[in-house]
A and B are shown apart, each in its own frame.
Chain A
Amino acid sequence: MGLTEFGHFALISAFVLSLVQAVVPFYGAARQNMPLMLVGPAAALSAALATIIAFGALVMAFVRSDFSVALVANHSHSAKPLIYKISGTWGNHEGSLLLWILILMIYGAVLALSGRGMPTALKARILAVQGMVSTSFLAFSLFTSNPFLRLGQAPIDGKGLNPVLQDPGLAIHPPMLYLGYVGLSIAFAFAVAGLISGDVDRLWAKWMRPWIIAAWCALTLGIALGSWWAYYELGWGGWWFWDPVENASLMPWLAATALLHSAIVVEKRGHLKSWTVLLAIMAFSLSLVGTFIVRSGLLTSVHSFASDPARGVFILGILLVAVGIPLLLYAWRGPQLVSTADFSLNSREGALIANNMLLVIATAIVLLGTFYPLGLEMITGARITVGPPYFNATFNPVMGGLVMVMVIGPVLAWRHGATPRAKTALITAAVAALLVGAAGLAVVKDIAIGAMASVMLIGWLAGGIGADIWGHLKPTGTMGPASRLTRIPTDVMGMWLAHFGIVIFLLGAAGDSLFQSEQVVRAKPGDVISIADRDVTLERVFERAGPNYQAITAELSYRDKSGRHIATLMPEKRIYTAERQTTTEAAIRPRIGGDDYAVLGDGDDRIGYSLRLYYKPLISWIWGGAAIMAAGGLLAMVGRRQKAKTPHTAGLGLARGQP
């Protein structure tokens, strides 16, 4: 019992320490006072420790099923398996908020411990900004969403046994996503610190980049996990629904991708400084807007927590301060960062600017589509829906343009013109596109023009990446491919891997959207249904008792055209006895080539059973591609740290001694 109070006390301590972290180092940096500046790392570390204790106390309350804690009583149950008791800690608003704060603190602590070469004043200011963010969120938690509140009388058991929430995906998806959302706060802090001190330069960008990549990797994986979970575990049959909460995670991701690329220009060429600062502010701001969407209940979504407009007001307050003030700062001091461009548009800088423009346009489209219904309702009272058809018509073409640029950019030179390998790369990409188009025509009867154009675009990208790699590896007079490989910087290899991941992702998306097979039938036991060169026999439909549900299960035998048995799928409908909820469990057979997917509907032996069968080619490549993208990012991030140690960069003469 005392543990919960201890946790509560730890949370309050974290709040006080964050406040110190927010104020003292700022003052110290302004006054060039070293001891005061060093309070930053100390406060960050101790605040993180306090938060870890607080979070641990909450987890223990869930694990021990301490129903005197209101949160545990409302969201947990003694019969829950242990792992879901633990993950139940963040399956609600208050607990997930504490998780958010925990991750924020840990990022701050890691920053405090790392960055040894970083100028003290820069680090102090960054930690101070981090401290401001964490103080606001700790206030939000303590004053409106306190997880440690006790009930007057502990109930015998808790209310939280919703079967849908007992899922491994729910355990991992929020933490991974928060690692991304919250990670962007570091880049945000870099930007605000830079605006205040005016020291936005190549070193600043160099220090910032690993943090951007880390957050971007986590966000990529977090979004992919959510999508994967929706498809495989929840059986929704799709992987993206343009739901407002999904959009809330996509927008920071798009901004972070743009930031990733513009930071390269700052680091290598010293340009696009004010633009990068703006992007860093926008990326985290979009994370905060995402928090607002999910927790205020203003937009209906399958994902929302229990909506509470009162909390929405607090978050809006945080938003106004945390986003408004940096943007004001940007408006005032941003122009000082603008440097005269010394590059033409026909250059790598130009291509990276085009990349950024397209990504920002895409972000703006998603933002507009998500908020337009609300805005219109405020102005005219009219209620409209902005759904997938809108986003497909507007967002997809912009992404298509980006895929075009992805091939051209890497083969352009800095400042002006094309590299010697540009011509080969572009011709290869074009030829690859044509070959894929021809293959499409040959393989798929009456292929739609749109479908053909999509796959040709993928061919273009694959060809372009391949040509770029070959251009770097082909034997020159003095070196063979192997030795050339060792000379390629790791971040270039990371880029190739990440871009290749996009090819895989697009193949998965195209395979599923364009080449899916479907059969909707009513079948009696013994009937055979043909789909995608498989013969599916409905063997029988039977009842089965699960741990907390009754199920009606269909047994489907899949055979190939020669009669050989491939697989057995068992889709079912479940009736959870306690909650009186019915769910449909799709049966999925994931394979690299494609998924078999089966859903059981209503019916009986007499009239037959409604069955929906699908074959979804390459759909798992969607998530495989995302994982490869994240791996590419990881490679680039790790590689950078190694590169920093080589003497080459030390001699750049950019070391600035003064804080």
Chain B
Amino acid sequence: MSRIRPSFFIPLIAFLGLALIGGLALKDTLSGSRNPSQLPSVLIGKTAPDTPLPLLNNTAAALSLAAYRGEPVLVNFFASWCAPCRAEAPALEQLSAHVTIIGIAYKDRSEDTAQFLQQYGNPFSAIGTDDDGRTGISWGVYGVPETYLIDKTGTVKWRHAGPLTRDVITTILMPQLAEMT
């Protein structure tokens, strides 16, 4: 006598649901479209927060993002004590030919920042100093380096946490830049 009771299928269905989630997550992780260590930025689509920071080479003056409205801009949070920042320096150097890059020295000492720039090159059109990290918090920065792409209207379009690799630049950043000009 084989009575089929639908309720007895519930554990199987629940398990298959769980397996589906796991499988999808694995697929996305393997294909690279999902990276557990990358947090999506909440600022995307919103106006970039202002950055009234003293400039590195002229502490009397203030860095103003608004001055760069009308052209796309990259904002790069970096520090001399940050090893991956050194790794991405050459890539930033090359990028600076295509787009304006603004640097924000995050929780760093001016002398150390200056030395870092001397050693690894200075791709930045302007550099602000965020000594206590407060500006970082207002941008949702959780580590360095982080790079934000801001469009002509001052809206955040994209954020990359970690060093910019050649791969990321060619496949993700350059196409977005091309759309903006």
Contact = CB atoms under 8 A, between A and B. Distances in A.
Contacts of B37: 300
Interface in A285-334: 285, 289, 292, 296-300, 309-310, 312-313, 316, 319-320, 323-324, 327-328, 330-334
Contacts of A327: 11-12, 15
Contact of B22 (A316, A328, A330): A316
Interface residues of B, number: 27
B4 A278 contact: no
Contacts of B12: 324, 327-328, 330-331
B3 interface: yes
A312 B34 CA distance: 15
A335 B15 contact: no
B23 interface: yes
A292 B18 CA distance: 12
A282 interface: yes
Interface stretch (B24-32, B63-71, B109-117, B131-139): B24-32
A330 B11 contact: yes
A378 B25 contact: yes
Interface of B is mostly: helix
B16 interface: yes
A374 B24 CA distance: 10
Nearest to B22: A316
Interface in B131-158: none
B174 interface: no
A63 B9 CA distance: 50
B16 A298 contact: no
Contacts of B22: 292, 296, 298, 312, 316, 319, 374
Which of the listed residues B15, B30, B37 has the most CB atoms from chain A within 10 Å of its own CB? B15
Interface in B1-57: 1-5, 8-9, 11-12, 15-16, 18-19, 21-26, 28-30, 34, 36-37, 39-40
Contacts of A378: 21, 24-25, 28
B26 A324 contact: no
A191 to B, nearest CB: 12
Contacts of B5: 334-335
Contacts of B23: 316
A327 B10 CA distance: 9
Nearest to A311: B26
Interface string A253-274: 0000000000000000000001
Majority secondary structure of chain A interface residues (helix, strand, loop or mixed): helix
A283 to B, nearest CB: 12
Contact of B3 (A282, A335, A367): A335
A381 B18 contact: no
Given A378-B24, A383-B40, A336 B2 contact: yes
Given A323-B15, A332-B2, A336-B3, A374 B26 contact: no
Contacts of A330: 8, 11-12
Contact of A332 (B4, B19, B34): B4
Contact of A309 (B2, B19, B26, B40): B26
A371 to B, nearest CB: 6
A319 B17 CA distance: 13
Nearest to A292: B22
B9 A331 contact: yes
A377 interface: yes
A386 to B, nearest CB: 14
B26 A316 contact: yes
A313 B26 contact: yes
B8 A331 contact: yes
B8 A334 contact: yes
A320 B23 CA distance: 10
A381 B40 contact: yes
A375 interface: yes
Contacts of A333: 2
For B11, B16, B22, B39, the residue with the greatest tally of chain A CB atoms inside 10 Å of its CB is B22
Contact of B26 (A298, A328, A332, A336): A298
A377 B26 CA distance: 12
Nearest to A312: B26
B96 to A, nearest CB: 32
B124 to A, nearest CB: 30
Contacts of A310: 30
B12 to A, nearest CB: 4
A257 to B, nearest CB: 18
A313 B25 CA distance: 10
A336 B8 CA distance: 11
A323 B22 CA distance: 14
Contact of B21 (A278, A285, A319, A371): A371
Contact of B19 (A296, A324, A331, A336): A324
Chain B CB within 10 A, most for which of A278, A310, A313, A327: A327
Contact of B4 (A313, A320, A335, A383): A335
A367 B1 CA distance: 35
Given A316-B23, A331-B9, A331-B11, A383 B39 contact: yes
Nearest to A282: B11
Q: Nearest 6 pairs between A and B by C-beta?
A: A327-B12, A331-B9, A309-B29, A335-B5, A331-B8, A375-B21
11 contacts: A278-B11, A298-B29, A312-B22, A312-B26, A313-B30, A332-B2, A332-B4, A374-B21, A374-B22, A378-B21, A378-B28
Given A296-B22, A331-B9, A377-B34, 17 more contacts: A285-B15, A292-B22, A298-B22, A298-B25, A298-B26, A298-B36, A300-B36, A300-B37, A309-B26, A313-B26, A313-B30, A319-B19, A327-B12, A330-B11, A334-B8, A374-B21, A378-B24
